[in-house]
């Protein structure tokens, strides 16, 4: 932002990654936003590059946030690095090495992935149970029965628990295969493939056609485009809905991170014992990126620095 281009305070906060304009408007009216140490409750208050803006005492600054929608082709790994893949998704976008994938898709799965450096938004979108809706089209082998569709709609029992109800419809049935559209909100590893497999319909091809408010219309495989302002705003609102669902959960004891070093874990457990906290079971070892499939965890990083924290996301 240049000195000649002051902007409304609500716009400043949104561009700083604080939240959607609606939520930033609410923060301002709540009286938790200050400009140069003075509380401002007028969302259209003008701020310039040398103003000090803070939310609840923590300074926020406008940084160059990017949001890129990519239609991942087959054979491309949806990670920032993968020694087993010929190409990774960040290489499809100019300057993509500074961005992080919001979730993952299996190497053989095609479709939409968002690349961004907005860690706050990325973490919100990737919650494993309250993710934004993601729509896939699957070519499955076999004849799709009403019973199979009903089972998928109600939720199926997988080895990691029962899935939430899904929106499912049969688009086309041929002699040996069928096209089925399915929309899920969760984000377990290879979830869509496992759901179809559980009802006797092995997936031959899979593509993610919609991600929240975004669709692949006009975006060819391997193509990308920068998201428009209204699309980013829609994603932020979707992320805030996810955050609202997460806030309803009862917070339990912390679970050890899979990547936590043994020495660090022992030290932390010793502190827990001294404090009277029960020991938590060790989390399973983290899988390498090449085997991560559609687990959705981006490279770990601190949300405040613009890099997403490790999290889950809608998977196929």
Q: Catalytic amino acids?
A: 106
Instruction: Kindly compute the dihedral angle of the four CA atoms of residues 84, 89, 92, 93, in this order, to the nearest 10 degrees.
Output: -140
Give the C-alpha separation, 39 to 26, whole Å.
14
Angstrom distance (rounded) from CA 66 to CA 227: 8
- Give, in degrees to the nearest 5, the angle at Cα 70 between 64 and 72: 145
* 34's tokens: 């200050």
For residue 253, give the 3-state DSSP assignment.
coil
**1, 62 Cβ separation under 8 angstroms:** yes
CB 189 within 8 A of CB 289: no
C-alpha 195, offset from chain centre: 20
Q: What angle do CA 196, 76, 194 make, to 5 degrees?
A: 15
**Which residue from 119, 115, 118 is spatially nearest to 100, judged by alpha carbons?**
115
The partner residues of 181 in beta bridges, in order of sequence, read 137, 169
Of 297, 307, 305, the C-alpha closest to 131 is: 297
Determine the 3-state secondary structure of 150 from DSSP: helix
- Buried b vs exposed e over 125-159: b needs ≥16 C-beta within 10 Å? bbbbebbbebbbbbbbeeebeeebbebbeeebeee
């Amino acid at each position: 932002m240049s000195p000649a281009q002051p902007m409304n305070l609500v716009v400043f906060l949104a561009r700083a990654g604080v939240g959607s304009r609606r939520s930033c408007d609410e923060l301002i009216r709540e009286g938790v936003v200050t400009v140069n140490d003075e509380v401002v409750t007028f969302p259209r208050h003008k701020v310039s590059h040398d103003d000090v803006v803070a939310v609840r005492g923590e300074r926020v600054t406008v940084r160059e946030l990017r949001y890129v929608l990519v239609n991942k082709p087959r054979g491309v790994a949806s990670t920032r690095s993968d020694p087993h893949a010929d190409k990774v998704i960040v290489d499809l976008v100019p300057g993509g090495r500074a961005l992080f994938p919001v979730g993952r898709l299996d190497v053989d799965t095609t479709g939409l992935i968002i690349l961004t450096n907005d860690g706050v938004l990325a973490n919100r979108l990737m919650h494993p149970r309250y993710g934004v809706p993601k729509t896939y089209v699957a070519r499955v082998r076999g004849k799709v029965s009403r019973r199979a569709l009903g089972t998928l709609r109600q939720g199926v029992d997988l080895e990691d628990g029962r899935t939430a109800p899904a929106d499912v419809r049969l688009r086309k049935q041929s002699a040996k295969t069928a096209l089925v559209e399915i929309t899920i909100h969760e984000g377990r590893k290879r979830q869509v493939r496992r759901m179809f497999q559980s009802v006797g319909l092995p997936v031959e091809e899979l593509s993610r056609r919609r991600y929240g408010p975004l669709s692949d219309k006009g975006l060819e495989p391997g193509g990308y485009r920068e998201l428009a302002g209204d699309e980013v705003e829609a994603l932020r609102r979707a992320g805030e809905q996810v955050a609202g669902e997460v806030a309803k959960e009862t917070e339990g004891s912390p679970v050890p991170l899979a990547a936590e070093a043994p020495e660090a874990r022992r030290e932390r457990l010793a502190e827990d014992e001294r404090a009277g906290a029960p020991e938590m079971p060790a989390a399973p070892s983290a899988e390498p990126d090449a085997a991560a499939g559609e687990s959705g965890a981006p490279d770990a990083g601190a949300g405040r620095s613009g890099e997403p924290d490790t999290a889950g996301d809608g998977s196929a």
